[in-house]
Structure 1
């Protein structure tokens, strides 16, 4: 799972540049040519959504998520492993519920051809599929992290 998260995360990093290119094109079109692009802002939003949803598992792998370090930094490695194992269970529950809702919403979007309420009115299912894929990757990475944390709590080390 770590290898998949790394590959997807490294590929996802480039979506920030795609989003910046979309917004730059929109600014040039609006200011230089006086031709606003209806699709630009939503495309940038969809690109950003894909960026943070697909990059979530990689962020977990790198431990670059936010953690309150009031007590955590002073704890032993085993105590950190115990606490991370316990909190991982809550994360797994949350991601499971999120995945269930995401699949349901995506199925609805595909079945009824759901479109966004805007002048451009893009189909919603492509971004919803990407979001469900990102949630699934995060869920699988969370399972992998749980077992690493559990091993750490038991005084063993998994790479």
Structure 2
């Protein structure tokens, strides 16, 4: 493996490690959502109390979980695809499918999302947009920023996939993804 290929492999690993860390961190939002929802229900029905901010925080966590977890899901091959064909392909054929899918679908769509969301998010930041409800959370601008974060994380994971496809097609790695859930290092 030459120095360029080593750089590609190291870059793919760094991008994937970042998405892995962010995805694992975001997964904790599931637990917090359950706890806050439980607290909202208990406070409302047992004590006749309710806070809009607590209710909105569940929505914020739900959105952040899915937006921050999209790249993690992509890294672990969890998005919907037509596996009836893909699973029967050789590793090289899978690499070609993933390469073209990343270059001609994933990356352009993510860049489009980033482009069309930029003004929407910037306007929200300029206004420091908050909740429309009295007593609601003031961080709608932060929530909208997650759209850009999602697009950026998916671009990073897409680039890591492109690099791994390039390495597999060049004969430098044997598989794109580790198919056993307990193995440590993926693709090598």
TM-score, normalization by structure 1 = 0.89
Work out whether 1:151 is the aligned partner of 2:167.
Answer: yes
Unaligned 5+ residue runs, structure 1? none
Moved more, 58-67 or 147-156: 147-156
Of stretches 39-48 and 120-129 in structure 1, the one that deviates more from structure 2 is 120-129
User: Which residue matches 1:6?
Assistant: 20
C-alpha displacement of 1:144: 1.0
Matches within 5 A, 1:23-34: 23-34=37-48
Q: How far is the alpha carbon of 1:75 from its aligned partner?
A: 1.3
> Over aligned residue pairs, what C-alpha RMSD do you find?
1.8
Normalised TM-score (structure 2): 0.76
Number of equivalences: 159
Contact 1:5 1:141 in 2 (8 A): yes
Check the 8 A contact 2:95/2:165 in 1, yes or no.
yes
Whole-angstrom distance in 2 between the partners of 1:22 and 1:2: 31
CA–CA separation in structure 2 for the residues paired with 1:107 and 1:129 = 8
Q: 2:183 corresponds to which residue?
A: none
Q: Give CA deviations for 1:52-93 in whole Å, capped at 9, x if unaligned.
A: 111122111111222211211111111111111111121100
Higher mean displacement: 47-56 or 57-66: 57-66
- Residue in 1 aligned with 2:154? 138
Tell me which residue corresponds to 1:83. Answer: 97
Q: Does 1:99 align with 2:130?
A: no
Residue pair 1:49, 1:131 contacting (<8 A) in 2 also: no
Q: After TM superposition, what 4+ stretches of structure 1 lie above 6 angstroms from structure 2?
A: none
1:113 aligns with 2:128: yes
**Secondary structure of 1:14 counterpart:** helix
Deviates further, 133-142 or 84-93: 133-142
In the TM superposition, residue 130 of structure 1 has moved relative to its aligned partner by 2.9
Contact conserved, 2:23 with 2:71, CA < 8 A, in 1? yes
